[in-house]
């Protein structure tokens, strides 16, 4: 019997019991859909958390805290030789070192003044190699040029705006929200920026203050933070002025020298995300205390691998339960078609042909259940991602803009669920198919219709 004839024979027999076959396919469909939707929750949460981690830091960034032998309570200090060693590591594109000025500074642009924090002293050439993102302008090329944060203009107010804002705050009732002033509305690029730093010291049990002003030119404005609630009013200054600024702002022992002041941040940047793990391991081998996004993602991925495996296991149990229906359907089919099987064997049909027909029937049930189950799963996943954020925002009073993927169905999940569904269906039909091949021809032909 040709394969085409076997397929026609299979469909002809299945049409005789459409309702039973339909209910069996429905059970397989629901089991497959349950497996996919259940596992998609794990994939969705993992995707959301992973994206959140990536958005909070540069994905190619590796933070270096110092040498491994550094005492936990001591500040890690990396000298120039260490920085050169970091730069020589394979697939490293930039080594950014920053000093953070923890003193709040007063700033002025034209007739607008304000206060800002923090101030970073950094190497602009390395920042350029590390792809420091700007929303406007360019990376400083002169030592007196600086970059300001995306929200820096909001900190700049005129004297009149500041007085009006203070009056509104004083008159506001408890819990009343006061709209903040817009700030500087012109173009900051090319503007002259004055930064005045005030240092407080104690001499003879009396607090004294000392002021120093620095004048810069704004050449660039930083990129908008990835999260709406983050405010960036920082200033990035070229490290060619590091010695001059730190000599004034650093509060410590008198004998402390500028070159002995450790960097607040040392950041190593890999060429791509694929190189981050290799760079991290190489730095650890060289004795540095480091942290990168790959280490955080590894722990997250490990947890969710176990979590998703558990969900797939639970979903597989549902498919196994559905397989009982497939087994019953195929067993009934063999019983009802005993005489037909006897006739086929009497006409010379090979046992393998009879077995193949019944296995094709069970496989058909599994395939149809998988296809319809996948379609239903995508519909449920789409609806969940559309409706659940709306429900949560409504429950929270619309205060939060929920950006969260609750359900995500990758191709791998579809393939795994389909393979389990079809595989279990074929296994369920194997025993009835084997029974069909063992039917005695004479007994089958004597059986009454």
Residue 436 CB-density burial (10 A; 0-12 exposed, 13-18 middle, 19+ buried): buried
218 and 124 assigned to the same domain: yes
List pLDDT tens digits, range 53-95: 666 556 788 889 887 665 554 445 787 788 888 989 999 999 9
Task: Establish if 119 belongs to a structural domain.
Answer: yes
The distance of Cα 157 from the centroid of its chain, to the nearest Å, equals: 38
Please choose, from the candidates 311, 287, 231, the residue with its C-alpha nearest in 3D space to the C-alpha of residue 37. Answer: 311
- Residue 365 resides in a domain: yes
Residue 127 lies in a domain: yes
Least confident of 2-16, 132-146, 203-217, 325-339: 2-16
* Phi and psi, residue 45, nearest 5°: -65, -40
What are 25-62's pLDDT values in tens digits? 888 899 899 999 988 988 888 888 777 766 655 678 88
Residues 306 and 439 in one domain: yes
Whether 37 and 174 share a structural domain: no
**86 is a domain residue:** no
DSSP assignment string, 373-418: HHHHHHHHHHHHHHHHHHHHHHHTTT-S----------HHHHHHHH
Which residue is it, tokens 């960097």? 263
User: Is residue 348 in some structural domain?
Assistant: yes
**Structure tokens that stand for 272 in this block:** 């791509």
256 and 201 in one domain? yes
Please say whether the beta carbons of 183 and 153 come within 8 A: yes
For residues 55 and 396, give the distance between their C-alpha atoms in angstroms, rounded to a whole number.
24
278 within a domain of the structure (yes/no): no
Coil, strand, or helix at residue 103? coil
Q: Any idea which of 237-251, 303-317, 432-446 has the lowest mean pLDDT? A: 432-446
Residues 194, 48, single domain; the answer is no
Same domain, 355 and 423: yes
CA 224, CA 134: separation in Å to the nearest integer? 8
User: Does the residue 280 lie in any domain?
Assistant: no
Q: Give the tens place of pLDDT for each residue, 364-386.
A: 888 999 999 999 999 999 998 88
CB atoms within 10 A of CB 391: 10
Instruction: Identify whether residues 243 and 134 lie together within a single domain.
Output: yes
Q: Are residues 102 and 237 part of one domain?
A: yes
For residue 251, pLDDT beyond 60: no
Which phi and psi angles does 172 have, rounded to 5°?
-70, 145
Q: Is the pLDDT score of 197 beyond 70?
A: yes
How many structural domains compose the chain?
2
Do 234 and 374 reside in the same domain of the chain?
no
Regarding whether 347 and 254 lie in a shared domain, the answer is: no
Verify that 319 and 406 share a domain, yes or no. Answer: yes
State the residue range of the domain holding 34. 3-55+300-446
**Considering the entire predicted model, what is its pTM?**
0.60
Q: Are residues 226 and 363 in the same domain?
A: no
The answer to the question of residue 405 being in a domain is yes
Radius of gyration of the chain (CA): 35
User: Which string of DSSP letters, residue by residue, matches 246-265?
Assistant: HHHH--S-TT--GGGSPPSE
327 pLDDT exceeds 70? yes
Question: Which of 234, 261, 288 is at the close of a domain?
Answer: 261
Instruction: Yes or no: say if 421 and 30 are a contact pair by the CB < 8 Å rule.
Output: no
Domain end (from 246, 261, 276): 261
């Amino acid at each position: 019997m040709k394969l085409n004839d076997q397929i026609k024979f299979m469909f002809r027999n299945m049409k005789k019991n459409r309702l039973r076959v339909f209910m069996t396919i429905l059970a397989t469909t629901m089991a497959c859909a349950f497996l996919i939707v259940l596992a998609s929750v794990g994939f969705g949460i993992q995707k959301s958390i992973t994206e959140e981690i990536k958005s909070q830091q540069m994905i190619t960034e590796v933070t270096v805290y110092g040498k491994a032998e550094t005492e936990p309570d001591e500040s890690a200090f990396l000298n120039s030789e260490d920085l050169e060693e970091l730069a020589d590591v394979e697939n490293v594109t930039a080594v950014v070192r920053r000093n953070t000025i923890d003193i709040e500074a007063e700033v002025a642009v034209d007739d607008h003044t304000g206060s800002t924090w923090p101030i970073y002293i950094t190497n602009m050439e390395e920042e350029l190699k590390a792809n420091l993102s700007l929303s406007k302008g360019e990376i400083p090329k002169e030592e007196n040029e600086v970059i300001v944060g995306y929200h820096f203009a909001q900190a700049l107010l005129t004297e009149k705006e500041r007085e009006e804002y203070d009056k509104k705050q004083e008159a506001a009732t408890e819990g009343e929200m006061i709209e903040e002033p817009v700030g500087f509305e012109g173009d900051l690029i090319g503007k002259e920026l004055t930064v005045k730093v005030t240092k407080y010291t104690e001499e003879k049990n009396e607090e004294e203050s000392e002021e120093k002003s620095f004048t810069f030119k704004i050449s660039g404005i930083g990129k908008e933070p990835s999260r709406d609630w983050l405010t960036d009013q920082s200033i990035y200054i070229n490290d060619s002025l590091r010695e001059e600024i730190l000599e004034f702002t650093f509060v410590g022992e008198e004998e402390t020298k500028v070159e002995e002041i450790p960097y607040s941040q040392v950041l190593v940047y890999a060429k791509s995300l694929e190189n981050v793990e290799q760079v991290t391991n190489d730095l650890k081998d060289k004795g540095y205390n480091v942290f990168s996004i790959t280490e955080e993602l590894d722990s997250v991925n490990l947890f969710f691998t176990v979590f998703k495996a558990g969900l797939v296991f639970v979903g597989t149990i549902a498919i196994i339960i559905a397989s009982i229906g497939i087994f019953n359907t195929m067993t009934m089919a063999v019983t009802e078609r005993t005489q037909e099987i006897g006739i086929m064997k009497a006409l010379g049909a090979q046992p393998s042909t009879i077995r193949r027909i019944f296995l094709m029937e069970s496989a058909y049930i599994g395939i149809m259940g998988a296809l319809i189950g996948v379609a239903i799963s995508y519909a449920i996943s789409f609806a969940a991602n559309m409706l659940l954020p709306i429900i949560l925002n409504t429950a929270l009073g619309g205060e939060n803009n929920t950006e969260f993927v609750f359900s995500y169905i990758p191709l791998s999940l579809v393939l795994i669920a389909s393979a389990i569904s079809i595989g279990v269906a074929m296994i369920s039909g194997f025993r009835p198919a084997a029974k069909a091949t063992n039917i005695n021809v004479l007994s089958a032909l004597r059986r009454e219709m």
